[in-house]
Every structure is written in structure tokens, then in C-alpha cells.
Amino acid sequence: MSTHIYGTKFNPMDAQIKTWSVQRTLDPLVAQVTSLISDQPSNNKKGRSKRAHLLVTNVVQAIENFIHKASEIAHENPEMRNDLLQSMEDVKRTGDEMAVLSKEFADDPCSKPKRQQMIVAARALLTSVTHLLILADLVDVQLILKSIRLVEDDLQHIHDASNQEELVHFYKQYGKDIIDLSQHAQRRQHDLVDRIEQENLAAARGTIKRTSMMLLTASKAYLRHPELPFARENRDFVYNQVRDAVGIISSVTQGRPIPPTQSLKLDSSLSSVGDLTRALNEFDRIVMMKPQKFNEQVIRPQLEERLESIISGAALLADSLSTREDRRDRIVQECNAVRQSLQDLLDEYIQFSKKRSSEENVNTKIQTMQTKTRDLRKQFTLIQIEKLNDKTKKAMYVYLCATAQDPDHTATCIKMYRESSSSRRSGRVIDVVSSEMEKYEPGEYTDGVIESVRVLRDQIIPSFAERIKIAIDTLRMKSAYDDGKYDVTEQELIEASSSVYHGIRDIRNSVLMNPDLEWPSDDEEGLNDEIYAPSQTSSHGPSSDSQLPDLEMYPGKNDNPSRDMMRRLPKEEREQIELQVEGFKKTKRDFEREVLKWDDRGNDIIVLAKKMCMIMMEMTDFTRGRGPLRTTMDVINAAKMISECGSKLNKIAKDIAAQCVESQSKSDLVAYVDRITLYCHQLDITSKVKADVQNISGELIVSGLDSATSLITAAKNLMNAVVLTVKASYIASTKYRSKAGNKEPIVQWKMRLPEKKPLVFVDRQNETNSRTKKSTVKKRLEPIHLLNEFHN
């Protein structure tokens, strides 16, 4: 036994493997020794073996390289040099014995005594190599302990600082040392085998990161006001938090139990949910077996016992006080579904063993079983989300209610807090999307996403923050005067929130325009559907997957995964759909160039055109397995909504044509309006054909490639017709109006306000080279050509 710095004691005979690096290094050697000991024939493919003497030479060379590397580590760490050199001698000795006995066994491979001697030597070599690897791992432990000692000294200096200059000086040194310790602790955390130790290290690192700046602030406040007891209490509280976190890192690194005084009191329910999730994952792994290996007397009791233990843990979690009533019922339902699926799977295994079933049926039952366990796992995740959400809201609401005298005023403040948090969340969205776009090559896709981000960051968020600030100031004035003069209208808050919502939606649509994005997994899709079900709705209303028509179309099914089935189309069909989508995107860009340049205030044509475009984008996303439209009934409802918008657009355009003089523009407008009616009807029929195919088949499958491409083509044709109608309406209502009557124009054509640009440009290098030339000949162009040349 040897003692190292900071009182660390190490006994090689009592050492345990605690890191993945050591375990992964030993795994191949353990497998080789195990194969030598085993008398069972190998399952590997038979063939010509390598020469035994060559294998012995490779072992000797590997041992020499191993010892050479260990010697370098020993010279770099003088405090552990003696232990490392002694362990190296053991490895060299056992390696030499292994080499000699292996050569003898290679000369006489049929000798059983020589084989036994070689096995004993291999075990001894494995033990000595393990001890040396653990000693090398202890070198990393010593480096972490050195960093811990430096941080502890810095903390003591900060605690004993007598003025601001000393405090700042010691805190700067503390910042450098804490960064070094955090890096060492992070690497150690990822390398540890024990999950509990990983979580303790992660919690300690999080505490240090969260309280380091608080330590500086609290220490400064105490030095400025040492006479205040609250200042001392704050400083001591933060200091103890950091010191306990450092102590936890030290205890975990040395493999010691964490003292109760240093425990961070992690939530036990988090651990229980994690254990249940891991148990479900292990259960799924065991369930997936070849039907030929199924043994009813062995496998059935094992699976049933595992499942009952999981269900018992789920029942305890459901009965906890923090679990909501509806979530408790869902857990009970999912547990019963998993239990029934297991019995069906076991029965299918038995039928296969009796040659009454096929392997395909067994695989189908396995997939059903995994679907049920996935649903149960999703409930566990939702429990934790709800619990964390309740804890966060409870702390804020209790404080507000305790400090406020007016309940109505408190409720309004809570609402203001919710509104202001949207700015922080939007900022997080902007940061994530911007960092993601840095991974792509610059192009049209990245330009569109960056433009949406810029609009949200530079226009929507500042306007939203200004409105919230005005509302808060109004509330303060109202509480001060209370004369009814200062009121906050709910409509203003709704408009402010809607602007942020539309900005986020535009970013989402821009990001989803990338055809190379991976198709979302069923686990993520199912979780998002339940968590964001109230907010993830289409542009024309909520999803209809829970409505009665869906249940009538698919009797006996309570989940209509039409959108999920689109994701499961063959790769070739998906590629053809993507080609159709590319054509739709080109048409959409033309739409944006021609329509989005107009201000939609006072112009119902632009409002209807934008709405129709949004619905068509959602229908196109449906063919790719994305978007808010989840079922075929949603697609049908979207087509009906497009037909309604088309009828309104038809009426307005015909009114414009009635005020227009007889001209080619009027004829074009009428023709384009007829196209909209035709394509709306075609889109409606396309969506219904898809539903009829599903209804006739009796199964939850989509019609495949033909229906998807037909839907995209109809949407593209309709969008082209809308663009032409908008252009023709502008020409007819502004250039060819009838002068017979003095009626006001039906719609107002105003250009959208341009983006704000700086009044003074910094870069004027090329200003002297630019000249303005006057035109001597003025050529008259038709209005339609002028409109085509206009770009926003």
C-alpha cells in the first residue's frame, strides 16, 4: 500500500475498474484469455489459422510497447514513479512467462498440461496489466486533485479577502483554476462507469458554474457592507455551495462516498424515472430475439418478471403526489397495453415453435411491443416535464402572491412575465438557428433562413419588447394613481404575441425548406405531438385527428398515422416527391417575389393569397411526413379552406374586373380567376382521392407516390394562378380603371415599407467611381413589364 499527495491511499490488490478507458483497453485481452480457457468449439468461421509462433511474437511486441508507454508516464509523474515501476516489473515478468509458455504450447498444441500452464500465465498477465492500467488512471486522479487543491486555496483567499483589490485579484486566479478543474472533471465524468458518480460530478460542475459569479457579487457586497448580517449570510451561503461542490468532485474522483453535508440532494424521482427508462430499454433488447431461440420454460418467466417489476415502478411513480390525474390514468392504460402486447408476443413465439406461424408475424408482434413500450417511455418523460414545470411556476407564483396586495394586479403581472419570457425564448431560437446555418455552405437556402432570423431579431423582437415595456409602465402608473386612466388592453398583448408567433413560424418554415434534412423519428414525433399539441396547429385551425370523421374513416383505430406513413414510403418514392417539391419551391419563390412586396393592409387579395400559400405549403409538407397536418382528414379540410379562399378571391377579382375598361388586362384577369376555380376543384379532388384509397383498402396506408405527386402538382398550379391573378388585379385596378363612375377602389395597392437601412454608409471606397448618367431617350414600357422587373 502506498500513500500519495492529499492523503490518497492506493492498494493495487483492492483496485476496481471505474473508467471506460481502462475497461475498453482490457476487453480484448479478457476475450482472448476467455477463449483460451473455454473448451467449447468456436463459432467463428473455420479457415486457416495464423501461425502460433507469429502470434507469440505479436504478444511480446505488444507487451514491450505497453511497458515503454508506461515508462514515459512514470517519468512524467515522480510522485507515482515507484508504484508504476513496480507494476511495470510485474507486467514484464508475467509477460516473459506468458511468452515462454506460449512458445512451448505452440510447439506442442495437443498437450493439455502445457495449455493449462499457458492459461495460468495468461491470467497472471491479465491481472498485472489491469493493475498497471488502474495506476495510470490514478495519475489522472492526481491531476484532478491538484486542481482541486488550487481551487480550495483560491476559495479560502476569496473568503479571507479584506478589500476589493484583493478580492478581484484572488477571483481572477480562481477563474483560471476553476476552468482547469472543470475541464478535468468533464473528461472524468464522461469516462466514469458508474452512472451515479457521473450524475454527482455533473451536478457539482453545474453548481460551480451557476454560483461562481454569485460568489464574486456576494463577496463584494459583504466587503462594502460588513455591518449587515444579510450580506455575510449571502456570502457564506454561496461560499459553502462552491466548497461543497468542489468536495463532491474530490470524493467522486477518489472513489469515496459523498458526505451527507456535501450532498446536493438530487431529486430521487429523477433517478427512478431514469431507472425505469433503462429497464424498458433493456426489456426491448431482450424481447428482440430470433424465434428459433425461444424457450418457453426459460424466456417466458424471465420476461414476465422483468415487465412486472417495471410496472410496479411505474405504479409507484403514478401514485406520487406530483403526478397529475390524467397522466396517472394514461400510465395505467399504457402499462396494461404493454402487458397485453407481451402476452400476444409470447403466444406468437409459441405458435412459431409449433410451426403454426411465420417469422414475419413474430416480427410484427415485436414491432407492436416496441411501440407500446415507446408510448410508456413517453409518459415517463412527460411526467418529468410536468414536474419541472410545476416546480418552476410554483416558486414564482408563491413569491408574487406573498408580496402583492392586489390579487388582480398579481394576475396581470404574471401575464406580463409570461409575455416577456417570449423574448428570451425567441433569442434562444435565433441563436440555435444561426449556429446551425453556419454548418451549411452559403446559398439560397441559408439566405432565406438568415433573412427570417434577421426579421425576427431586428424588427419583431424590438417591437415586442417595446410594447411589453409600455404595458409594464402602464401597470405601474395604474397602481400609483388607480384612477382608471391607465389601462392595458388585452388586444395589444395579443397582437404583440402574434407577431412573435408569426416570426417563429416563418423561421420554422424556412428551416424546413431544406430537402436534405433527416426525417424525424417516431419517438420524437410522438413526444412533440403530445407536448405541443395545443400550439402546433395548422394555419387554418387545429388538427382534426381527434374528430369523429377520422374515426369513421378508420374504424377500430384511435390513432391515424397518415403523416407517419408518408415518412415510411420507400426511398425511391420519397426522392421523386422531393423532385416535385423542388418545383413547388421555385413557384413559391415566384409567389414571394410578386406578392410579398405588397402591403396587406386594405388589400384582401394579398391577405387571401398569403393564406392560400401557407395552406398549400402545409399540404406539401404533409406529403413529406412533416408539418401540422397529421391525417388525411386534415388534408381534406385544408383543401376545403383553400376552396373557400379561392371563392373569396374569385369574387374580389371579378369585382375589380367589373370596374375595369374593356381591355386585354380585363380578359386576362377573368381567365386567371377561372384557373383558380379549376385548380381549387382539382386540389379538392386530389385530396379526396387519397382518402378514398385508404378507405377502400381498410388499412392505415397512404396511396403512395401518385397521390402525393398529384397533390404537389395541383398546389403548384394553383399558386401560379394566384400569382398571375395578383399581377392582373394590380394592372386592372390601377391602370385600366373605368372613368364612368367615381367608386372607390376595391383594394388598396401599397408597397410594403422597405427595410431600415443606415443613413450613413461607412464604406465609401467605390463612391468616386460611380457616376449618374442621364437618359436622353425615354422608352415607354407596358405596366406588366414594369411589374415583372420590380423586385423587393
SS3 38: coil
| Same-domain check for residues 711 and 609 | yes
Question: Could you tell me the three cell numbers for 475?
Answer: 401597470
| Enclosing domain of residue 252 | 161-264
Question: Could you tell me the three cell numbers for 409?
Answer: 394586479
- CATH code of the domain containing 365: 1.20.1440
| Same-domain check for residues 471 and 616 | no
| Same-domain check for residues 649 and 792 | yes
Q: Does 741 map to a domain?
A: yes
Interatomic CA distance for residues 736 and 720, integer angstroms: 23
The per-residue pLDDT for 266 is 42
| Same-domain check for residues 250 and 274 | no
| Same-domain check for residues 168 and 302 | no
The per-residue pLDDT for 205 is 87
Q: Does 704 map to a domain?
A: yes
Of 656, 683, 688, 685, the C-alpha closest to 672 is 656
| Same-domain check for residues 599 and 628 | yes
Q: In angstroms, how far is CA 414 from the centroid of its own chain?
A: 28
Interatomic CA distance for residues 346 and 328, integer angstroms: 27
Domain edge (last residue) among 470, 496, 514: 514
623 and 712 Cβ atoms separated by less than 8 Å: yes
Q: Does 92 map to a domain?
A: yes
- This prediction has a pTM of 0.40
| Same-domain check for residues 184 and 300 | no
Which string of DSSP letters, residue by residue, matches 715-778?
A: HHHHHHHHHHHHHHHHHHHHTSB-SS--PPPSS---BPPPPP--SS-S--TTTTT------S--
What residue type is 33 in one-letter code?
V
Give helix then strand counts, H and E, for the chain: 24, 2
Interatomic CA distance for residues 148 and 610, integer angstroms: 61
Of 17, 6, 129, 136, the C-alpha closest to 80 is 136
Question: Could you tell me the three cell numbers for 694?
Answer: 385508404
CA-to-CA dists, residue 667 to 427, 653, 660, 725, 732, angstroms: 49, 12, 10, 11, 10
| Same-domain check for residues 383 and 320 | yes
SS3 295: coil
CA atoms within 13 A on the CB side of 256: 16
Which string of DSSP letters, residue by residue, matches 428-452?
A: HHHHHHHHHHTTSPSSHHHHHHHHH
Report residue 9: phi and psi, to 5°: -110, 145
710 and 686 Cβ atoms separated by less than 8 Å: yes
Give the residues across from 737 on adjacent strands: 660
The angle, 0 to 180 degrees and rounded to 10, between the axes of the packed helices 407-437 and 444-455 is 160
Farthest CA pair distance, the chain: 118
CB atoms within 10 A of CB 255: 14
Q: Does 154 map to a domain?
A: no
| Same-domain check for residues 639 and 590 | yes
Interatomic CA distance for residues 60 and 710, integer angstroms: 69
Interatomic CA distance for residues 328 and 312, integer angstroms: 13
Q: Does 247 map to a domain?
A: yes
The per-residue pLDDT for 520 is 44
Q: Does 507 map to a domain?
A: yes
Domain edge (last residue) among 219, 246, 264: 264
155 and 246 Cβ atoms separated by less than 8 Å: yes
The per-residue pLDDT for 522 is 40
Number of domains in the chain: 5
CB atoms within 10 A of CB 357: 17
| 511: region left, alpha or beta (phi > 0 left; psi from -120 to 50 alpha) | alpha
322 and 387 Cβ atoms separated by less than 8 Å: yes
| Same-domain check for residues 240 and 279 | no
| Same-domain check for residues 105 and 176 | no
First to last CA, the chain: 79
Domain edge (last residue) among 206, 231, 264: 264
| Same-domain check for residues 498 and 570 | no
The angle, 0 to 180 degrees and rounded to 10, between the axes of the packed helices 522-531 and 359-403 is 30
708 and 609 Cβ atoms separated by less than 8 Å: no
- CATH code of the domain containing 445: 1.20.120.230
Question: Could you tell me the three cell numbers for 381?
Answer: 418523460
Interatomic CA distance for residues 758 and 761, integer angstroms: 7
SS3 2: strand
Q: Does 412 map to a domain?
A: yes
SS3 556: coil
The per-residue pLDDT for 13 is 45
Instruction: Tell me the average confidence (pLDDT) per consecutive run of 10 residues in the chain, 792 residues long.
Output: 45 60 70 58 53 69 74 74 79 81 77 80 80 78 87 90 88 89 85 80 86 88 88 88 88 76 47 75 83 82 86 82 80 89 88 82 85 86 75 54 54 54 71 77 77 85 79 64 54 74 79 55 42 42 40 35 62 76 80 78 81 81 73 77 83 81 79 84 70 42 59 82 84 69 70 64 43 41 52 44
Q: Does 131 map to a domain?
A: yes
- Quick one: which H or E segment has residue 542? none
CB atoms within 10 A of CB 134: 19
